[in-house]
Amino acid sequence: MKSISIKINGEPLALDVEEHWTLLYLLREHLALTGTKEGCGRGECGACTVIVDGKPINSCLVLAPEVDGCEITTIEGEMRNGRLSPLQEAFIEMGAIQCGFCTPGMVMSARALLMRNPDPSEDEIVEAICGNLCRCTGYEPIIRAIREAAKRERNHER
């Protein structure tokens, strides 16, 4: 066991973790944050994407003790004040969701993109979500949703 302190979706938390736990396992099995999904366990599908210290990562390839001291955002942290974010709204409106299993990871990759680049080009969007597999939508509506959300969030900030 190792003791770690993290900030998860804005809340500080100190806890003990087994050394071989992945961050994904910690989130799903011990913090009841099941929005983050496991699709492959080897960094190929992106369903487990969360944001650690501002960067999207595959939580299946990070050990729980490695995130000691880190700030973690999961899909459960995307709503603000009980309201959908513009990104979430755009995903719904643009048909960027079908089965929904890739959606949390996809939204996290998109969120991290908009954090580092509020006005991404289509190529930049594609690059940002290339590590997130979706078997249902054909990606096109997801790309559109992210572009639309970027626009809305930029306008909102002004």
Binding to another protein, residues 45-84 (CB under 8 A): 45-47, 49, 55-58, 60-63, 65-66, 68, 74-76, 78-79, 84
C-alpha span between 2 and 10 (Å, rounded): 22
Q: Which of 7, 15, 30, 133 binds another protein (CB under 8 A)?
A: 133
Alpha helices in 1-139 (DSSP H): 23-25, 86-93, 103-116, 122-129
Contacting another protein within 100-119 (CB under 8 A): 100-104, 107, 109
Q: Which of 22, 31, 120, 148 binds another protein (CB under 8 A)?
A: 22
Q: How far is the CB of 158 from another protein (least distance, A)?
A: 25
Contacting another protein within 24-43 (CB under 8 A): 28, 33-43
C-alpha span between 88 and 84 (Å, rounded): 6
Would you count residue 120 as binding another protein (CB under 8 A)?
no
Q: What is the layout of strands, in order, in the sheet containing 2-8?
A: 11-17, 2-8, 71-73, 49-52, 55-58
Cβ proximity to another protein, 59 vs 158, nearer residue: 59
Q: How far is the CB of 61 from another protein (least distance, A)?
A: 5
Positive or negative: CA dihedral 24, 26, 29, 35: negative
Identify the residue whose tokens are 């755009």. 90
Q: How far is the CB of 126 from another protein (least distance, A)?
A: 5
- Between strands 2-8 and 71-73, the pairing is parallel
Q: Which of 2, 7, 30, 151 binds another protein (CB under 8 A)?
A: 2
